[in-house]
């Protein structure tokens, strides 16, 4: 389930942008896509970002997509091109081989706004996504209206937090490549989803026996119930068992990894804060750390105790780094 993994929900949406021109008070006009780009360029970054008001949001991104990229002509087999005049092949395929005749190109019917967000979630349920979007609307309604008002149907459909969540959910597409880097050393084997090969083998044998018996005793006519019938039933059973195991393994592979320890946004912000503060502490106390006398040791001990008391490593809430802050 690529949309949810390691305790994070990866929301990906493509939202159609209106194509009706915007008429300004000065008498000029602009396209909604151009106006949206301008609005996004003015969106506050860092600690002033509307997404920094959420205690769950790790990343958020907006991209205006005017059209799909053209990767060039589909290159045919050169030997087939040379032999085409002598071959009886469809004229449509001959045209595709002809470099003078243009090939079909994929085009978008309108510009799209790509909106993605990675946020803490307990599961990949729709309720988790909707709760995040409702909270985002409550915290940043004004900024979100200024962005999404250029999108098709937004102003007619969205009136509150619930309708905003529904509008975004209707534009959601599957996330196929989520980014999550908090399992630095990989997931421990004892926390991975458990696939019992023994149980899988027993299930496969059970399906094989059941399908083979069904085919042999119920589906085959009486004159085939012999060696040939047994062979047919066995082949059918093996095929059914193999297909069942194949689809089971595919479904098992979609199971998400468990959440990494200390990987929620408040915990990550606390870790970043402690790293910065401890780096400053280590630089400032170098002379005490280098000393070999008892006074230096006691001074370092007292300073470290003061550091712990002031920065409260076990308290995720405070003091901590502000959401959206970048760098040191």
Q: What is the DSSP letter of 216?
A: I
Are residue 111 and residue 207 in the same domain, yes or no?
no
Directed axis angle between helix 126-148 and helix 32-41, to 10°?
Answer: 100
Q: Measure the CA–CA gap between 126 and 133, rounded to whole angstroms.
A: 11
Look up residue 110 and give its DSSP letter. S
Same domain, 269 and 137: no
Residue 10 lies in a domain: yes
Q: Is residue 75 part of a domain?
A: no
In a domain, 185, yes or no: no
196 confidence band (pLDDT: 50, 70, 90): low
Q: Are 241 and 275 found together in one domain? A: no
pTM: 0.75
Query: What's the pLDDT at 228?
Result: 73
- CA distances to 58, 262, 321 from 184, rounded to whole Å, are 17, 12, 21
- The domain in which residue 233 lies consists of 197-253
Average pLDDT of the segment spanning 98-114: 84
Asked whether residue 12 falls in the same domain as residue 160, the answer is: yes
- In this structure, the answer to whether residues 279 and 236 fall within a common structural domain is no
Count how many domains the chain has: 3
pLDDT digits (tens, 9 = 90+) for 36-81: 999 999 999 889 999 999 999 999 999 999 998 888 777 766 676 6
- 213 belongs to a structural domain: yes
For residues 286 and 16, which has the higher predicted lDDT (pLDDT)? Answer: 16
Burial environment of residue 113 by CB neighbours within 10 A (0 to 12, 13 to 18, 19 or more): buried
Q: Are residues 115 and 55 in the same domain?
A: yes
Question: pLDDT by residue (tens digit) across 267-313?
Answer: 999 999 999 999 999 998 888 777 788 888 898 899 999 999 999 99
């Amino acid at each position: 389930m690529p949309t949810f993994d390691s305790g994070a929900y990866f929301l990906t949406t493509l939202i159609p942008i209106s194509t009706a021109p915007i008429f300004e008070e000065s008498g000029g006009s602009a396209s909604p896509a151009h106006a949206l780009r301008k609005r996004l360029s003015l969106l506050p970054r860092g600690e002033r970002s509307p997404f920094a008001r959420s205690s769950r949001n790790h990343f958020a991104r907006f991209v205006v997509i005017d059209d799909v990229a053209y990767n060039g002509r589909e290159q045919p087999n050169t030997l087939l091109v040379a032999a085409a005049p002598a071959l009886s092949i469809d004229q449509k395929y001959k045209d595709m081989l002809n470099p003078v005749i243009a090939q079909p190109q994929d085009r978008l019917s309108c510009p799209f706004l790509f909106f993605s967000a990675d946020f803490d979630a307990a599961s990949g349920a729709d309720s988790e996504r909707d709760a995040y979007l409702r909270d985002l609307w409550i915290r940043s309604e004004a900024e979100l209206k200024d962005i999404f008002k250029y999108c098709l149907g937004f102003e007619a459909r969205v009136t509150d937090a619930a309708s905003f969540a529904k509008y975004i959910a209707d534009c959601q597409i599957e996330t196929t490549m989520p980014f999550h880097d908090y399992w630095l050393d990989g997931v421990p084997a004892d926390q991975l989803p458990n696939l019992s090969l023994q149980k899988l083998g027993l299930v496969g044998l059970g399906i094989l026996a059941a399908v083979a018996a069904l085919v042999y005793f119920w589906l085959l006519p009486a004159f085939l119930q012999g060696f040939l019938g047994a062979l047919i039933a066995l082949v059918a059973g093996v095929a059914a068992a193999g297909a069942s195991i194949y689809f089971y393994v595919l479904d098992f592979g979609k199971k998400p990894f468990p959440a990494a320890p200390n990987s929620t946004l408040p915990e990550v912000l606390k870790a970043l804060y402690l790293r910065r503060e401890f780096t400053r502490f280590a630089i400032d106390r170098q002379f005490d750390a280098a000393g070999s006398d008892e006074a230096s040791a006691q001074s370092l001990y007292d300073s470290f105790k003061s550091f712990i008391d002031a920065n409260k490593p076990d308290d995720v809430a405070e003091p901590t780094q502000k959401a959206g802050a970048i760098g040191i």
